[in-house]
Structure 1
Amino acid sequence: MSLSFSVRVNRAILRALVLTLFLTGFSQMALAKSLQQAVAVDYLQGEGDVQGLKLAYQHHVDWLHGLNPRLNMLFEASANFWRYGPANSSDSNAVLAVSPILRYPLGQAFDLKWDLEFGIGVSLLDDTRFAGKDVSTHYQFEDRLGLVAWLAPDRSLSIRYLHYSNAGFKRPNPGLDFVSLSYGWYF
C-alpha cells in the first residue's frame, strides 16, 4: 500500500466521521421524536475489474408519513473504497457520499417483505481519474435504485444499481456504474 493511498484513505475516513457526526447531530436536533438507525456494509461490483466496499450509516425519519404512511425516508452517509485492476498494481479511490433515500413497501413474497428504494445524493471522490476514466470533477451525484428484502425487522439484504456522474456540469462525464449487495443492521 503506497503512502499516498494510505493518506487519502485516512483523510476519507476522517471526513466520513465528521460528516456522520454532523448528520447525526442535525438529525437528533430536528427529529427527537422518531429515531431508527442502521449501519450497512455493501460489496460493490463495477464495470470491468472495479470492486469496492461501502460502509454506511442510515438515519430514518418520518417526515413523509403525513403524505403517505407507507412512504419511508432515510438519510445515508457513507464511505466507499474502490479498487480497479489486480491487487499488485491496482488503482484506488476513496469516496464520501450523502444521500436522501425514499423507500416504498412493495408487499410480501417468498416469506419476505420487500421495499423499492430510490435516491439521488452527492459524493466527493478523492481522485477524478479512476478505472481508466476521467470523470472531471471531485463532486459527483450518486443515483440509486434498489430492492430491499427484510430478513427480520432489524436486518435487510439489498441489491442496488448505483450511478456516479457530474450530471454534465463539466466534460468529460463518462460516469461510473456499480451493482451493490448490501447487508443492513437496524437499531
Structure 2
Amino acid sequence: MKKLIMALVVSLFVSTAMADEVAIDLLKGEGDVTGVRLAYRPYHTTVTDFPLIGDVNLYLELSANKWRYGDPAEYDDNLAIAFSPVLTRQFTTVYGKALFWELGVGVSFLDKKRFAGKDLGTYYQFEDRLGLTLALDPAKKRSISLRYFHYSNGGLEKPNPGMDFINLSYTWRF
C-alpha cells in the first residue's frame, strides 16, 4: 500500500506529454431524469505497477452536471460540481481502435439535496463511475464513452437513496 501511495504522489508531480481534454456528456437517469455534463481534464499521467492490474493511466476531472426531472413546464433541476481521479487502461482493440475500461470515485457538491422527489440526504455526494471508452483516431485525440455513474452520500447520513445515470460522452484532446 505504501508503494501505491508513493507512486501516486510521485506521478502527481511528474509532467506528462498528454494534453488537456474536454468532454460533453448526455445523461439519462431514473424515470424522467436527464442531464448534460461538461468536463475538463487538466492532468494525465501513467502509474506503473499498480497493484493487481499493472500499468494504468490516471486523469483528474472537474465537471459540472445539470440534471432535470419532470414535465418541462414545471421541471425540477439540480447542479452538481464534481472532482474525480479516474483510472483507465486499454484492454483490447475494436476495428483497429483502442478500447479502454475506466473506473473512478470522486466527490461532488449538489445545489439541492432534494431532487426528483428524493431526499438525497446531503449536499455532498460521492461520484462513482465505471465505463468503456473507444478512441476514434490513432492519436487518441477524440473518443466516445459509455459510462454508469452513481451518486450517493455513501451512508454518511440518512436517507441515502442515491442517483444512477447512464452517460454517453464525446471527448476531445487539445
Return the TM-score normalized by structure 2.
Answer: 0.86
Distance 2:94 2:21 in 1: 24
Amino acid at match of 1:57: Y
For 2:87, give the aligned amino acid: L
Which residue pairs with 1:6 in the alignment? none
Quote the Cα distance in structure 2 between the aligned partners of 1:154 and 1:63: 17
Which runs of at least 4 in structure 1 moved beyond 3 Å after TM superposition?
29-35, 65-70
Between the aligned partners of 1:75 and 1:34, the Cα distance in structure 2 is 15
Residue 88 of structure 1: CA displacement? 0.8
Distance in structure 1 (CA, Å) of the matches to 2:78 and 2:90: 34
Corresponding residue number in structure 2 for 1:93: 78
Q: Is the deviation greater in 33-42 or in 97-106?
A: 33-42
Cα offsets for 1:1-33 (capped at 9, x unmatched): xxxxxxxxxxxxxxxxxxxxxxxxxxxx94445
- Cα deviation, residue 57, structure 1: 0.2
| Structure with the higher fraction of residues in strand conformation | 2
Cα deviation 1:47-71 (Å, max 9, x = unaligned)? 0000000000013432513658741
Q: How does 1:130-145 map to 2 (within 5 A)?
A: 130-145=115-130
The match for 1:58 is: 41
Secondary structure, in 3 states, of the residue corresponding to 1:71? Answer: strand
What does residue 66 of structure 2 align with?
A: 81
Residue 158 of structure 1 aligns with which residue? 145
User: 2:21 touches 2:172 (CA, 8 Å); kept in 1?
Assistant: yes
Normalised to the residue count of structure 1, the TM-score between the two structures is: 0.80
Identity percentage of aligned residues: 46
Instruction: Please tell me whether the aligned partners of residues 46 and 56 of structure 2 are also in contact (alpha carbons under 8 angstroms).
Output: no
Q: Does 1:186 align with 2:173?
A: yes
After superposition, residues 1-187 of structure 1 pair within 5 angstroms as 30-65=13-48, 67=50, 70-152=55-137, 153-187=140-174
Structure 2 unaligned regions, length at least 5? 1-11
The answer to whether the 8 Å contact 1:145/1:160 transfers is yes
- Answer whether contact 2:102 2:130 (CA < 8 A) is retained: yes
CA distance in 1, matches of 2:49, 2:156: 35
Aligned residues: 159
Mapped to 2, the partners of 1:33 and 1:145 lie a distance apart of 24
Greater share of helix: 1
Matched residues in 1 for 2:28 and 2:44: separation?
Answer: 29
